[in-house]
Amino acid sequence: MFNIGEKDSDGRQKRIEHRGRHLRISRTGGVAVREQIKVAGLNLTANSKHGVRATTRIAKGTNAGFQNGNFRLRGRYGKGPTKLNLSKSGISASTKTAIGTFNWMKPNRSSVKIGGVQIRGKNAATIQMVYAVFALAAFAVQAAVVIIVFLAQMLWVAIQALTLFLCWLLPILWDGCVSLGEGSVAAVHGHKRAKLMPVAETLAGDPKISGMTLPELEMALENIITAGGRGNPLNPPLDQMLDAIDAETAADRVRILLLAVATAHREQAEESALVPLYLRIDDQCVQDGGRTRLQELLLEDYAALNRLKLKSE
């Protein structure tokens, strides 16, 4: 009878009142007996509390008429929660909220419905404003959470993209640095080799070297790299030639002797025999316990002098 437990279109408790055909009972309006008829396009309503009212529709959403001799004009326009209101006193705008309606131009005409109890006027406007503050705070929190989640997702995507980019870039940079380092070292060694070559070429013309047979030259090369490259004594004839070389360091003397013997060997050996000899001497160095830095340098000198194209492991 009084709408208790019944829900409106928004899922809220309907206003607690009785709205029968001839009887109205509410908290604010009290008890009233009414009758309504329609005559010649006019809606005639007689109410024991509010008197007699005659209204008619003059346009879509607009009604006009008289109540107890006073002119009445009422209009409501728009779609959605916010609508434009027209009355005899002017125009106003109101917005429907979760707890009622708030009138922006005339706050005292706002309404609130809580638990089926309808509240109007100044108290309703105050409640609506308090609700708006809390709703705005809740919206701000939700917006902040959404923004934080969005930024976190974007950060994660950026981290993944950066990781993929670095995984692609770092090997390239590493290979470039290695190649640059190897190129720089090779350039330094090549410059030093160029300084030693004049002495080596002069020594290569010495009968002690130029008079060697091809097998003797190959044995000399192997002895210089495998023994001299480890700092061990060479065969007596080679050792004597090594002692006679004037150079800044012991390593330079070994390199000069190697370049001299390799120059003489290049003049006698077949080109096809150069790589096998290089590989045989290199294998011997590895079997003897691994290449020393000087042995690597001597092998590099031999390869550079004979223009061997070898792939590094």
Selected residue with higher pLDDT from 218 and 56: 218
Please tell me the predicted confidence (pLDDT) of residue 215. 93
pLDDT (average), residues 3-25: 66
Q: What whole-number distance in Å separates Cα of residue 207 and Cα of residue 215? A: 16
Contact 206, 250 (CB under 8 A): no
0.85 exceeded by the pTM?
A: no
Greater confidence (155 vs 38) lies with: 155
Burial of 288 (0-12, 13-18, 19+ CB in 10 A): middle
Confidence of residue 2 (pLDDT cuts 50, 70, 90): low
Domain coordinates of the chain in residue numbers? 17-119, 182-305
What's the rounded mean pLDDT across residues 196-213? 89
Number of residues in the chain: 313
Least reliable range by pLDDT among 7-21, 54-68, 110-124: 7-21
The string of pLDDT tens digits covering residues 243-277 is 999 888 999 999 999 999 999 998 888 988 899 99
Which pLDDT band holds residue 221 (cuts at 50, 70, 90)? very high
